[in-house]
Amino acid sequence: PAENQSIAGVVQVSYADSRNQLQYAFNASEARKFCRSLRLSIASKAQVEAALRRGLETCRFGWIDEHFVVIPRKMALPNCGRNRTGLVPWRVTVTAKFDVFCFNESDAAEQMTDASTQSSEFYSESTQPSSVILNSTLTTSSTHSTSPSSHPPPSSSLSTPITTNNEVEAARSVGNTHGSTGAKAVLISCTCGLLISAAVLAYMKLRRRCSDKKQQKDYIQTEEWTCVKNITETKTAVQE
């Protein structure tokens, strides 16, 4: 790649056919060998992430050192990385054909040294670089393609996307929140049930006591009436 054709030392290599149409051309091993042929190394995930933070954004999958493909996205687009942002990773078979991200260590060191004086416009979307093979001959040029939907990756070669650490942590956080909410709901329901049961028992005991007092009062009145009746009958008998 030519000077200033990388971002943070990372450059994306693509293949152009005889009609100058970009095609995915490298499997995992070919991608690594091709970077070496350019006297570069295949970029790692951390290196592509660093380039993404400094402005690298593409709409094509590329191999990295960890044996899977990625798309660096700063803005979400439906036809790029499934409308996701960040470094969008996908697990694919190592024989699948994609672009490749190569790493130029000297470029990275130079750009880090000059970072304080470089204009931020150098890393804008209008200067997205990559090295492209034209007519089977390696040349260097800048590409501005942001919607290569005409050349999507083979659907048979793609499987479930990798779940990033941020997504895992978010899923765990949501699960913990739901679990805590459910536990609180169960605890509140149990407490309400106990309070209702206690109120019902207290009401039944109070009603039973009232009923017992009423029965006792009726019994006393009956006994008094019986005694009065007996006394009256006795007086009548004596008078006779």
Which domains are present in the chain?
10-162 (3.10.100.10)
Instruction: Evaluate whether 61 touches 99 at the Cβ level (below 8 Å).
Output: yes
Q: Is the pLDDT of residue 99 over 80?
A: yes
Instruction: Evaluate whether 7 touches 108 at the Cβ level (below 8 Å).
Output: no
Three-state DSSP class for residue 87: strand
How far apart, in whole angstroms, are the C-alpha atoms of residue 183 and residue 11? 51
- By DSSP bridging, strand 69-73 and strand 86-92 are antiparallel
Nearest to 5 by CA among 106, 131, 108: 131
Q: Both tokens of residue 94?
A: 């190592």
Nearest to 58 by CA among 179, 146, 142: 146
Of 29-33, 88-92, 139-143, the poorest mean pLDDT is in 139-143
Q: Both tokens of residue 58?
A: 């593409």
How far apart, in whole angstroms, are the C-alpha atoms of residue 63 and residue 41? 12
Report the chain's mean pLDDT, rounded to a whole number.
73
- By DSSP bridging, strand 86-92 and strand 41-42 are unpaired
Which of the pair, 108 or 165, is modelled with greater confidence? 108
Three-state DSSP class for residue 152: coil
Nearest to 58 by CA among 108, 109, 11: 11
Q: Is the pLDDT of residue 145 over 50?
A: no
Element (H, E) at 83: none
- With bands split at pLDDT 50, 70 and 90, how would you rate the model's confidence at 200? confident
Of 76-85, 106-115, 145-154, 172-181, the poorest mean pLDDT is in 145-154
Phi, psi (5° rounding) for residue 109?
A: -65, -40
pLDDT score for 173: 54
CA atoms within 13 A on the CB side of 62: 34
Query: Rounded to two decimals, what is the model's pTM?
Result: 0.49
- With bands split at pLDDT 50, 70 and 90, how would you rate the model's confidence at 67? very high
Of 47-51, 66-70, 121-125, the poorest mean pLDDT is in 121-125
Which of the pair, 217 or 188, is modelled with greater confidence? 188
How far apart, in whole angstroms, are the C-alpha atoms of residue 8 and residue 52? 9
Nearest to 149 by CA among 20, 17, 25, 60: 60
CA atoms within 13 A on the CB side of 169: 3
- Residue recorded with tokens 């995930």: 45
Three-state DSSP class for residue 73: strand
Rounded to a whole number of angstroms, the distance between the first and last alpha carbons of the chain is 144
Phi-psi map region of 71: left, alpha, beta (phi>0 left; psi -120 to 50 alpha): beta
